[in-house]
Homo-oligomer: A and B are copies of this chain.
Amino acid sequence: MKTFATSLTDTVTRLQKIRSQTEHICKPLEPEDTVVQPMIDVSPPKWHMAHTTWFFEEFVLKPYLPNFKVFHASYSYLFNSYYNSVGNRVQRAERSTLTRPPLRDIYSYRSYVNEHLAKLLENPDDRNLNEMMPVLELGLQHEQQHQELLLTDIKYILSTNPLLPIYTPAKTSEKADHVPATFLDVPGGIYKIGYQGDGFCFDNELGVHEVLIHDFQVMNRLVTNGEYLEFMESGSYTDFRFWLDEGFSLVKTLNWESPLYWIKQEDKWHRYSLHGLEELDPNKPVTHISFYEANAYANWAGKRLLTEFEWEAASQAYPPQQGNFSDSNLLEPAAAKIGQHGLVQLYGDAWEWTYSAYHPYPGFSTAPGALGEYNGKFMINQMVLRGGSCATPSDHIRTTYRNFFHPDKRWQFNGIRLANK
């Protein structure tokens, strides 16, 4: 695992803030909301709450806090996610059977682990500190990843309910302005790709290496709902010419006709969000589309998606501006505003699908032991997304951050930015 400088005081503060943020996210939920799993990709919120806690118990408290007793002997089995090294675990598809332990026990579990982490950090053993701090930081980053999943999973869970419940009311309902699309030049050349700083990063960002980029142009903002609607209304969902073959099959099999969460009522398109059902705003960024839809849109528009290397090069040419992250509590992507310059929405709002498979960088290597399972084993059949979304914590993102999903996934806040030759 990468080691890096970090301050103990900072970590204590961040630990408190991040751990309580998870509970803040779950506050509006009913106990029943926290246990179901309406599709395989979604995890029950209770599971997220327990699993992020288990991470600290398993990888920090057990090895580093002397005489630590686990909260419950079975929790390691119940709340391990995919770490084969740590032993047996509940299979992903069976997470929704875990009605017990009840939610209040999970809150107790969280408190118990928080208290013991506080105790550990009050009086740390200097010899362990260098080894432990990166693991602790990984635990925090891991919890932030699950915070994003919590929001998208809650959205999915509530959306399957015929009552279309409101998770939290919208902060504002003003309509967005129309900002025209333009294309900005990115000069070709040899770019350094991968994380070069001395803070935290994931193993998949390491293996800094040079990549030869060719001249190209990049769109100033994300594709909007209105632009996507044009694509839909031109009959594109039934026109094979724009689609990858597997995507077109999927469209037919699953009867896709619009992004996820779009609902037509009385001839008007609406969109379900964490604020309930709202009329579609044509100037806001389109999200909840698969890679197949993003790519078909690009083909229809006569453009293409960026590669992840082009995206990173673009972020060097046009450094990202203040983004709309989960900290804003908007919980929806915001529209670009008239008068903004450079690459708007490069950070936040919506993850941007790239036409790059999620593969190892040259020299990629995994850490030994359970934590080495973190990223490498998923490096097949998934596509890279860049830039973070409105559900990402602002201090969790970097321009080198590589998110990844299978090309058919739609329940994340994923959007489209186009490249031009």
Residues of A within 8 A of B (CB): 30-36, 38, 46, 74, 77-78, 82, 84, 90, 94, 96-103, 157-158, 160-163, 165, 190, 209-212, 214, 240-241, 243-248, 291-292, 355-357, 359-360, 362-363, 377-381, 407, 421
Are A30 and B102 CB-contacts (below 8 A) given A212-B212, A246-B381, A360-B355? yes
On chain B, the residues within 8 Å of A74 by CB distance are: 162-163
Do A214 and B362 touch (CB < 8 A)?
Answer: yes
- Please name the residue on chain B nearest to A82 by beta carbon: B245
Q: List 14 A-B contacts (CB under 8 A).
A: A31-B31, A31-B102, A31-B103, A36-B99, A74-B163, A78-B163, A82-B245, A84-B240, A98-B161, A99-B161, A190-B212, A248-B377, A291-B380, A357-B359
Contact A377 B33 (CB under 8 A): no
A360–B305 Cα distance when bound, in Å, is 11
Contacts of A240 in B (CB 8 A): 84, 377
Given contacts A31-B102, A35-B99, A291-B380, 19 further A-B contacts (CB under 8 A): A30-B103, A31-B31, A32-B34, A32-B100, A35-B35, A36-B36, A38-B96, A77-B162, A97-B157, A97-B160, A99-B158, A100-B161, A100-B163, A101-B163, A209-B214, A214-B362, A245-B377, A248-B377, A356-B359
Contact A162 B90 (CB under 8 A): yes
The listed residue (B33, B244, B380, B421) touching A100 by CB distance below 8 A is: B33
Tell me the minimal C-beta distance from A382 to chain B in angstroms. 9
**How far does the alpha carbon of A357 sit from the alpha carbon of B103 in the complex, in Å?**
43
Partner of A96, one of B36, B158, B210: B36
The 3 A-B residue pairs whose C-beta atoms are closest, nearest first, are A357-B357, A31-B31, A32-B99
Contacts of A421 in B (CB 8 A): 363
Shortest A25–chain B CB gap in Å is 16
Residues of B within 8 A of A78 (CB): 162-163
Residues of B close to A165: CB separation below 8 A? 100
Q: Which of A36, A90, A240 has the most CB of B within 10 A?
A: A36
List B contacts of A94 (CB < 8 A). Answer: 160
Q: Which residues of B have CB within 8 Å of A241?
A: 84
Q: How far is the CB of A91 from chain B (nearest CB, A)?
A: 10
The answer to whether B381 and A100 touch across the interface, beta carbons within 8 angstroms, is no
A81 vs B74: C-alpha distance when bound (angstroms): 37
Contact across chains for B209 and A211 when beta carbons are under 8 A apart:
no
Residue of B nearest to A101 (CB): B163
For A381, what are the chain B residues with a Cβ–Cβ distance below 8 Å?
Answer: 246, 381, 407
Closest beta carbon of chain B to A54's beta carbon, Å: 14
A290–B163 Cα distance when bound, in Å, is 38
What's the minimum C-beta distance from A214 to chain B, rounded to whole angstroms?
6
From known contacts A31-B30, A32-B31, A32-B34, infer whether A244 and B378 are also in contact, taking CB-CB under 8 Å. Answer: yes
| A356 cross-chain contacts in B, Cβ below 8 A | 359
Q: Which residues of B contact A357 (CB under 8 A)?
A: 357, 359
Known interface pairs A74-B162, A90-B162, A363-B421; A102-B380 also in contact (CB < 8 Å): no
Contact across chains for A244 and B380 when beta carbons are under 8 A apart: yes
Cβ–Cβ contact B102 & A32, under 8 A? yes
- Chain B nearest CB from A380 CB (Å) reads 5
Chain B residue nearest in CB terms to A291: B380
Q: Which residue of B lies closest to A84 (CB)?
A: B240
| Residue of B whose beta carbon sits closest to that of A376 | B244
A31 to B30, CA, bound (A): 9
The answer to whether B243 touches A377, judged by C-beta atoms less than 8 angstroms apart, is: yes
User: Measured between alpha carbons, how far is A64 from B247 in the docked complex, in Å?
Assistant: 34
